[in-house]
Amino acid sequence: MVLRELRGFAFQARPAPPGGRWAKISPLSTPSWITLKKDVSRTFRTKLLKNKGKSHIFGYNLVAQQNLTERRLAMNKIKNNRLDFTGQPIYVGLDVHKKSWSVSIHSQQCEHKTFSQSPEVEKLVYYLQRNFPGALYHSVYEAGFSGFWIYDQLREKGIDCIVVNPADVPTKNKERAKKRDPVDCRKLARSLRNGELEGIYVPCRLKLEDRSLIRTRLGMVRKQTRCKNQIKGMLLFYGIHLPEELINSHWSRRFIRWLERIRMEKASGNIALNAHLEELNHLRKIIAALNRAILALARTEEYRVPVKLLKTVPGISTLTAMTLLTELYEIGRFPSLDELSSYTGLIPDTHGSGEKEYTGGITERRHRQLRCVLVEASWVAVRKDPALMMAFLQYCKRMRKTRAIVKIARKLLNRIRYVLKNQMPYVPAVVQ
């Protein structure tokens, strides 16, 4: 628009209504050509339009203001037309990443929208409440690196949320072949709407922090094992053999002092060996500090009684008991031994079709930490519990020891479940 001052002209228009005033309406409304009159000075906005070489002046329509009653009626009409999704379910599938989330929103009948947003719960909640006020919100995302903080914050905002195992999400072949973030979040929202998803158990924040302490120690022990293997590999590479008196005392204080006295033929070799030894000493100090922290945690009011009960089971130490308690959380969430064995991975793989049915070895779907500690504890239990030793010897007559110990681990798990469920100490059987 070009602002000009036209002197000597004015509008020939209807007089303003009593108590009213003139108001400009949007330039997008229907234009009207205005009539000008001389000898009056006014300033108004004009726009020059060229149509087949002719210039015309385009002006605004001037309309009177509506009275107060009409305005109130119009506002009430707008309020009555507000969105209301009270009682209607809305399903939200989230594909979470570090820098962004892919979000797919579905209603009971159709897909509403799929978009990407920053990883903030507040923005998602604001969008849902603005576009679907009063609805019943249901959300889902896959368990992974992000943990359960999204689950906790969505629950605090009043949005129902479940976390699912990625391997349990129904997936079409084309979705697997053309995997993308929008495809994944649509798949989650669709499966949630169809009732095909079952959420995993989500523990509280305090339990998760206790579990982190146990898993951190396990990670440090693995690093220590790797460091020891690197030192042994370096000795074998240069043909340095262990003395006979140290063959059966690996990684004792005498063995480490012998390693520190080794001198290579060049300074660079000594620097490389000392670097491995310094890393080993550092890891040993960290593991010792973690062991003390775990023992202190086991003496707290929350864990003292269950740890004491579990230590009555043969093969269960304080560290093993803390691993079981922080990984299982609540033994009551497993209605039967079969479900607990399936969770830990102490069941065989089965394949069947028609009249044929095949039973394979131990399943690959397992809880890695629990199955590991149970098998290790079973090797100790068969030496201390007469009933388990007799069962182990019977199994060894018809299978390998490595398969027999898995059956013993299942029996040991049954004893652990009984002790935790009934809060009673375990009494070893006596074989007469």
Return d(Cα 185, Cα 139) in angstroms, integer: 11
Lowest mean pLDDT among 194-208, 266-280, 416-430: 416-430
Residue 45, beta-bridge partner list: 3
Give me the numbers of helices (H) and strands (E) for the chain, helices first please: 14, 12
Return d(Cα 351, Cα 125) in angstroms, integer: 44
Distance between start and end Cα atoms, the chain: 108
CB burial string 112-143: b at 16+ within 10 A, e below? eebeeeeeebeebbebbeeebeebebbbbbbb
* Inter-residue contact 188 to 95 (CB < 8 Å): yes
Local structure of residue 65 (DSSP, 8 states): P
Give pLDDT tens digits for 218-237. 999 999 999 999 999 999 99
* The predicted structure's pLDDT at residue 81: 63
Instruction: Give the pairing of strands 101-106 and 89-96.
Output: antiparallel
Give pLDDT tens digits for 240-294. 998 888 888 889 999 999 999 999 999 999 999 999 999 999 999 999 999 999 9
Give pLDDT tens digits for 342-367. 999 999 988 888 888 888 888 989 99
Return d(Cα 184, Cα 199) in angstroms, integer: 17
Please report the DSSP string for 228-262 in residue order: HHHHHHHHHHTT-PPPGGGTT-TTSHHHHHHHHT-
Return d(Cα 5, Cα 40) in angstroms, integer: 12
Q: How far is CA 85 from CA 26, 123, 269, in A?
A: 33, 19, 73
Return d(Cα 84, Cα 71) in angstroms, integer: 23
Other beta carbons less than 10 A from residue 294's beta carbon: 20
Return d(Cα 51, Cα 422) in angstroms, integer: 94
106: left (phi over 0), alpha (psi -120 to 50) or beta: beta
Label residue 432 by pLDDT band (50, 70, 90).
very low
Return d(Cα 430, Cα 432) in angstroms, integer: 6
Residue 24, beta-bridge partner list: 62
Q: How far is CA 173 from CA 142, 176, 178, 179, in A?
A: 19, 5, 9, 10
Looking at every residue in the chain, the average pLDDT score rounds to 85
Instruction: Give the pairing of strands 356-362 and 348-353.
Output: antiparallel
Give pLDDT tens digits for 99-151. 999 999 999 999 999 999 999 999 999 999 999 999 999 999 999 999 999 99
* Inter-residue contact 325 to 319 (CB < 8 Å): no
Interacting residues of 215 by C-beta distance below 8 A, sequence separation 6+: 369
Q: What is the 3-state secondary structure (H, E, C) of 338-372?
A: HHHHHHHCCCEEEEEECCEEEEEEECCCCCHHHHH
Q: What residue type is 32 in one-letter code?
A: S
Largest CA distance in the chain: 129
Return d(Cα 26, Cα 35) in angstroms, integer: 20
Distance of CA 253 to the CA centre of its chain: 43
Q: What is the pTM of this model?
A: 0.78
